[in-house]
Amino acid sequence: MRLWNLSWFLFFDSLLVISGLQTPESFDIDGGIDQDIFDINEGLGLDLFEGDIRLDGVQDRNSIIGENYRWPHTIPYVLEDSLEMNAKGVILNAFERYRLKTCIDFKPWTGEANYISVFKGSGCWSSVGNRHVGRQELSIGANCDRIATIQHEFLHALGFWHEQSRSDRDDYVRIIWERIQSGKEHNFNTYDDKVSDSLNVPYDYTSVMHYSKTAFRNGTEPTIVTRISDFEDVIGQRMDFSDYDLLKLNRLYNCSSSLSFMDSCDFELENVCGMIQGSGDNTDWQRISRAPGGPESDHSNMGQCQGSGFFMHFDSSSVNMGATAVLESRMLYPKRGFQCLQFYLYNSGSGSDQLNIYIREYSADNVNGSLNLVEELKDIPTGNWQLYHVTLKVTNKFRVVFEGHRGSGASLGGLSIDDINLSETRCPHHIWHIRNFTQLIGSPEGILYSPAFYSSKGYAFQIHLNLSHLTDAGIYFHLISGANDDQLQWPCPWQQATMTLLDQNPDIRQRMSNQRSVTTDPFMTTDNGSYFWDRPSKVGTVAFFPNGTEFRRGRGYGTSTFITHERLKSRNFIKGNDVFILLTVEDISHLNSTQDPSVPTPGIKDLCSEITCQNDGICAVQDDKAVCRCPVGEDWWYMGERCEKRGSTRDTIVIAVSSTVTVFALMLIITLVSVYCTRKKYRQRTSSNAVNKTLENEYAF
């Protein structure tokens, strides 16, 4: 961000509320309809079991009882060329959610006996469990490229059925049979606990595997009514795993920890998560629930829970300028080599107070650790909790060090930190902080534009959030004219924008954030034949920043049904009347296996285009050479440069037996010949000795 954000853009680092201006026409990828998985598949005329499950003819409901149909903890996969580019990027993001919250990992297929082939089929569907068929298909078709939809289908592949098919379903929801489409009633069957295991987890209204209330309806009335009315609009969420989804998955696969999670701390316990005070500083951080100069409460609970709600506070009003307070995390052990540190920070002190983030890294050569400055947070806004992300790249064991530094000027309070999370994931590139949010919901004033941001490639963009609709919030991605446009490639190729409405739960593992991704397709055209993602100065409309500076804004691309207002008011999306939207725009052109003729990359040759792997082999580049990864099964395999030869255990046994017999026969022949030759030689020697003996006797006479 520091590379591209020029000073005239930083001037607008506040919420832009633009009204009374002509806004560019936005393209709604959902057509104004919030379609669930089952709506998509039904619209395509698919008749799948329970709407999105593919049965193989021998599968029954007890197939996941026991370990026979479980996958290994690391699942091989192939992203087929048929997939849309946006879907490929979202699938990889979904894998990161699995890594963050479970012990399930995914790796590109390299010839393992069984693997998941993700392709663009008709609709969104999967088989249940590991079917041991070699190549197991999972379809992410058109409009299925939502992260929770992909999580849902992979949960099927991992061995899970829908939540409402549990044996105890009727204790929690009522099925209104007369409202179900004729012939679809079987999709609402339940199965007893002898054939479907709930893993001793309570019924989950919030499960990502639950039908929505409108599933398979024949009119406008719901087919599922929750016995607790508060959950009527909760069932069918497609945001993220619920806590019980994770509990079941981790129990089924015996997960004791997740892969990329490292630490989370809300300071509710007196041991402050094992953090330690520095010894060479001037004062200590204090664990308190309220600071005289602010904040009035912690960020975790916002003062809603009496007797709880703590944070760490550096009182800069009680020390002189230049004084410091140091707080260090417990020892941490990285595995991936990159980390994201996230925390909330409140400044009630001087505007010149700052927070420095260090890493104390340990090695064999430095057992006491070397201290390295990573980030200096200056000009911290005062009066409210701010969200920060800091990217780390640590490979040895380490501690995170928070150093509060007293600046110049008067201070009535200090710096406070809360809700720290550390994970081995990528940090978002930007944060859009929206204050006084609730008054904008459903209001004509709820048409918001973010500040101008820059992607890592240098493209300038804005996010448009539309809260003015009565029931749904919309979100759109716009390219805008920027300082680097003369040096950039147009139409903009394969930049994936991921927009995440943050669930501000203190623990990153328990968040159910709402996310949507869109990707710039350089071949996409508008009705008048121009390229949709062409240079904004060419295809955009005139817009103005609040100070009157003119710029060009391209058409928006997103959805008018990003989230309902009801869901928006649930969980911790809004906290202290603040909302945070996390933004990442990254280049995913490397996921496009076909070289684009209009977006050339000089000097790069597609090595795999020169060879064809037979028998479902996969081409891979190794040591700058295209090689075929050949499929293998439990008792068969393919081999050869192009996977053109087939081998099997039976063939090996036959070859081994034949070779043994041949060797035995050869050895027998050699032995017989050797015996024959030895005996013949012996006889000749014996005969010669007899003749010599006779001659000796004759001469003796």
Angle between helices 147-158 and 85-101 (to 10 degrees): 60
Q: Does 73 appear as a known binding residue?
A: no
Per-residue exposure over 239-271, b if at least 16 CB sit within 10 Å of its own CB, e if not: bbbbbbbbbbbbebbebeebbbbbbbbbbbeee
Residue carrying the six token digits 């060009």: 552
Q: Does 152 appear as a known binding residue?
A: yes
CB-count exposure of residue 51 (10 Å: 0-12, 13-18, 19+)? buried
135-140 and 115-119 strand pairing: parallel
CB-count exposure of residue 605 (10 Å: 0-12, 13-18, 19+)? exposed
Sign of CA dihedral 223, 226, 232, 237: negative
Residue carrying the six token digits 């409009």: 143
Q: Which has the closest alpha carbon to 239: 343, 52, 433, 94? A: 94
Q: Which has the closest alpha carbon to 475: 557, 393, 360, 542? A: 557
Q: Does 527 appear as a known binding residue?
A: no
Residue pair 190/177 in contact (Cβ under 8 Å)? The answer is no
Chain length of the chain: 701
CA distance 650 to 284: 72
Residues involved in catalysis: 153
Residue pair 497/586 in contact (Cβ under 8 Å)? The answer is no
- Residue 672: how many CB atoms within 10 A of its CB? 10
Q: Does 30 appear as a known binding residue?
A: no
CB-count exposure of residue 689 (10 Å: 0-12, 13-18, 19+)? exposed
N-term to C-term CA, the chain: 122
CA distance 409 to 580: 30
Angle between helices 147-158 and 243-252 (to 10 degrees): 30
What is residue 336's DSSP assignment? S
- 584: CB partners within 8 A, 6+ apart: 426, 428, 429, 430, 497, 498
- Residues annotated within the binding site are 52, 152, 156, 162
- Residues annotated within the binding site for Zn(2+) are 52, 152, 156, 162
